[in-house]
Structure 1
Amino acid sequence: MMNQPYDNNNVFAKILRGEIPAHKLYEDADTYAFMDVMPQGKGHCLAITKAPYRNMLDVEPAHLFAVVATTQKLARAVKKAFDADGVTVMQFNEPASGQTVFHLHFHVIPRFEGIPLKAHTGQMEDQTILAANAEKIRQALEQEG
């Protein structure tokens, strides 16, 4: 059951409409993937549905399956691109869980032994670094085909 309606003015809806720039990694008919501008680790990226869902609680199963498939593609690509030891995938539903952008999304973060995630401080990453990391991920996605 949804607590709140979907907000068409959330930041991810604006990215999908091209109103806010993003470092795009991947796109298909149902999903879009891009760099997180406030990364908790090198290569932190996001997979979202193109359809307007608040979170996992209101998404239609077909769209959930599509975004999970894109999340898996990203997880494989970031592991390869950054020679990571592992990958953390996170997904939050409603404020009590930590959700701050109310558009269904999955966080994909390459992980390295002994290196903790950075705190989510709201600090924007340098655009040059985001662009370089995005290019590494896009190359890994192309190699996977």
Structure 2
Amino acid sequence: MDNDCLFCRIVAGEIPATVVHETETTLAFRDIDPKAPVHVLVIPKDHHPDVVALATADPAGSADLLAAAAAVAEAEGLRADGFRLLFNSGGYAGQEVFHVHAHVLGGAPLGPMLAPR
């Protein structure tokens, strides 16, 4: 646990969150600033700064994270129409909390991911 990490503090129960799914190794909760009708963050309970660090240090944890994201998409009714699973890695990508997290987004057409350059 990183005591300065917002998501580690959520895992520890120090900060409340609206939890929608939990396993032994993962936690999923609603984003406080949703960008879609369904916007859930899925995190490993262990601290890893980004998805590359998680994949390198704990490949099984990466699989657990993806399985939890799939379970959230299913439970939220997103499988039929589709959903977006997004990882931001690093400041240039828009990562704001440096604890790996997957965004599960859906519930409406999301449009193109990136504007043409």
Residues 119-134 of structure 1: pairs in structure 2 closer than 5 A: none
Matched position secondary structure for 2:14: coil
Equivalent of 1:89, from 82, 85, 108? Answer: 85
Equivalent of 1:65, from 60, 63, 66? Answer: 63
Question: TM-score under structure 1 normalisation?
Answer: 0.68
The whole-number CA distance in structure 1 between the counterparts of 2:51 and 2:73 is 19
Instruction: Summarize deviations over 1:19-52 as a string: whole Å, max 9, x none.
Output: 1100011111110011001100112111100011
Please, which runs of 5 or more residues in structure 2 have no aligned partner?
A: 113-117
Matched position secondary structure for 1:68: helix
Question: TM-score under structure 2 normalisation?
Answer: 0.83
Cα distance, 1:7 vs structure 2: 4.6
2:115 aligned residue: none
Larger radius of gyration: 1
Number of residue equivalences: 109
Cα distance, 1:16 vs structure 2: 0.7
Letter in 2 for 1:72: A
Matched, 1:77 2:37: no
Please, which runs of 5 or more residues in structure 1 have no aligned partner?
A: 1-5, 118-145
Matched position secondary structure for 1:96: helix
User: Quick check: 1:79–1:87 contact (8 Å CA) kept in 2?
Assistant: no
The whole-number CA distance in structure 1 between the counterparts of 2:83 and 2:74 is 8
User: Quick check: 1:32–1:47 contact (8 Å CA) kept in 2?
Assistant: yes
Larger helix percent: 1
Larger strand percent: 2
Matched position secondary structure for 1:45: strand
Pairwise CA RMSD: 2.1
Letter in 2 for 1:70: A
The whole-number CA distance in structure 2 between the counterparts of 1:84 and 1:46 is 20
2:36 aligned residue: 41
User: Quick check: 1:78–1:84 contact (8 Å CA) kept in 2?
Assistant: no
Matched, 1:28 2:26: no
Matched, 1:101 2:72: no
Equivalent of 2:4, from 9, 27, 35? Answer: 9
